[in-house]
């Protein structure tokens, strides 16, 4: 995501699933947006979502554990998410997700996922984009299962001499 070169430039690039949360350092963010800039046409756009720090942090403080339930082919699943603040410098969190199967005996742990993630403010994203040759053309307020996020549509600013 941080460094790639396509053989032919494309009209758009989409970053899905709040993958920007795994861009921990400012260098990671800048390298990612620079790669996108270099791989889209002059009229190209990028679309991505991100976890909004201004909404996530208060939500996380008030909800120390988030649960999600799902059912597939008669099997019931549960995901429990918790986190700890790693660094307030870049709004980083240690994210822990535990996955269970629910049965008559209770819940049986089937997997655990540990990640360090970063949440951003909208102003941070705007500045990163500007510094890397993009301008936001649309900000979409997206409701999710827990905390709300933003989806950004940004257009390449063609640099003039």
pLDDT at 29: 95
- Cβ contact 130:152 at 8 Å: no
Per-residue pLDDT of the chain (161 residues; tens, 9 = 90+): 888 899 999 999 999 888 898 898 999 999 999 999 999 999 999 999 998 988 888 888 888 888 889 999 999 999 998 887 766 667 788 889 999 999 988 999 999 999 888 999 999 999 999 999 999 999 999 887 667 789 999 999 876 65
Phi, psi angles (nearest 5°) of residue 36 = -65, -45
User: What ranges in 8-161 are assigned the alpha helix state H?
Assistant: 26-39, 53-62, 122-131
**Widest CA span in the chain:** 69
């Amino acid at each position: 995501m941080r460094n790639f070169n396509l053989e032919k430039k494309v009209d758009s690039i989409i970053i899905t699933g709040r993958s920007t949360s795994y861009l921990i350092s400012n260098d990671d963010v800048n390298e990612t947006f620079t790669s996108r800039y270099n791989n889209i046409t002059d009229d190209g756009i990028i679309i991505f979502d991100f976890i909004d720090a201004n909404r996530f942090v208060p939500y996380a403080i008030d909800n120390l554990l988030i649960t999600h339930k799902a059912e597939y082919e008669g099997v019931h699943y549960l995901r429990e998410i918790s986190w700890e603040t790693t660094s307030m410098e870049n709004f980083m969190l240690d994210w822990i997700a535990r996955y269970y199967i629910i049965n008559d005996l209770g819940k049986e742990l089937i997997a655990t996922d540990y990640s360090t993630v970063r949440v951003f403010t909208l102003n941070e994203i705007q500045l990163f984009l500007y510094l890397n040759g993009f301008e936001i053309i649309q900000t979409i307020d997206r409701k999710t299962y827990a905390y709300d996020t933003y989806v950004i549509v940004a257009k390449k600013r063609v640099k003039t001499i």
